Amino acid sequence: MDCERANRENIVERYLAGKLDPATIDEWEGHLFACDRCAERLELCQTITPVLREMAPEIRREMQPAKPARRWLWIALPLAAAAMFAFTLVDWAPKPKVAVSSTPDYTLLAKLDPPAYHAPTLRSVPAPAQTKFRDAMTAYQAHDWSRAIEGLKASLELDSAAAAPRFFLGASYLLSGNPQAAAIELAQVATSDSPFAEEARFDLAKAFLAQGRKEEALTALQQCHGDFAPQAADLITRIQGVSK
Ligand SMILES: [Zn+2]
């Protein structure tokens, strides 16, 4: 077992769902013991999965209006590992009751500055998914979140494995005041191997904060070890300040 195989075969998700055979479990646990990256990925998936499961009925409702069949196809594609895992669980999982309590206000800390986007110069004719992505990003740069969301979804329907449109879709949802939908998209990018994973973990923390989910936000922030580590550490301190 190595990281690449674990990613390719969605080992983390299948492990959490109890869908691995005993031999693969042995191999995976052996690797897990020695690999910090996979251990962190497991921890993040463990945190995120119950949250996604809880949000699933709401997300489903939101996805119903237009073209339900194609949207289901889009979300069910194998590479959408995290979401798919949550969706396979919702049908039989008991619906958790959302605890309503007087939570501290994290609104200010949850505020997201739009992640920067610089259009790359393409040398070849872009694929249809890329064309849709670039059009959507023009709307994104104009802060037209609803048009950006529509365009990014259209791009993902053509290429569901692309990390950039999913990352900016998550950001656009968060910027348009829909942190639940944002968390679904960002969680998938955060647990992937893409160059957007680190920034997605940071923004995912904000999506959790916007919902008052402090513990999940802290877990996501604790897994920022790259460029976003200083900002993550700073946000952790501020969250703890608000909770006092
Ligand atoms: Zn690994």
Give Cα 176 to chain centroid, integer Å. Answer: 16
Long-range contacts of 152-160 (CB under 8 A, 24+ apart): 153/74, 155/129, 155/130, 156/74, 156/129, 157/70, 157/73, 157/74, 158/127, 158/128, 158/129, 158/132, 159/127, 159/129, 160/74, 160/77, 160/79, 160/80
Residue 12 CA, ligand 1 centroid: distance in Å: 10
Which two three-digit tokens encode residue 158?
């053509």
Residue 147 CA, ligand 1 centroid: distance in Å: 38
Q: Which amino acid is at 90?
A: V
Give Cα 44 to chain centroid, integer Å. Answer: 10
Beta-carbon contacts of 110 under 8 Å, excluding residues fewer than 6 positions away, are 179, 206, 207, 209, 210
The three-point CA angle 48-214-236 to 5° equals 105
From first to last of its 244 residues, what are the pLDDT tens digits of the chain? Answer: 999 999 889 899 899 888 999 999 999 999 999 998 888 888 888 888 777 777 767 766 766 655 444 544 444 444 455 555 554 544 444 444 454 455 678 888 999 999 999 887 777 778 999 999 999 999 999 999 999 999 999 999 999 999 999 999 999 999 999 999 999 999 999 988 899 999 999 999 999 999 999 999 999 999 998 999 999 999 999 999 887 6
Residue 31 CA, ligand 1 centroid: distance in Å: 6
Q: Global pTM?
A: 0.71
The residue among 117, 111, 133 whose CA lies nearest residue 209 is: 111
Residue 33 CA, ligand 1 centroid: distance in Å: 9
Longest CA span, the chain: 55
Residue 7 CA, ligand 1 centroid: distance in Å: 9
Q: Distance between CA atoms of 5 and 31, rounded to whole angstroms?
A: 11
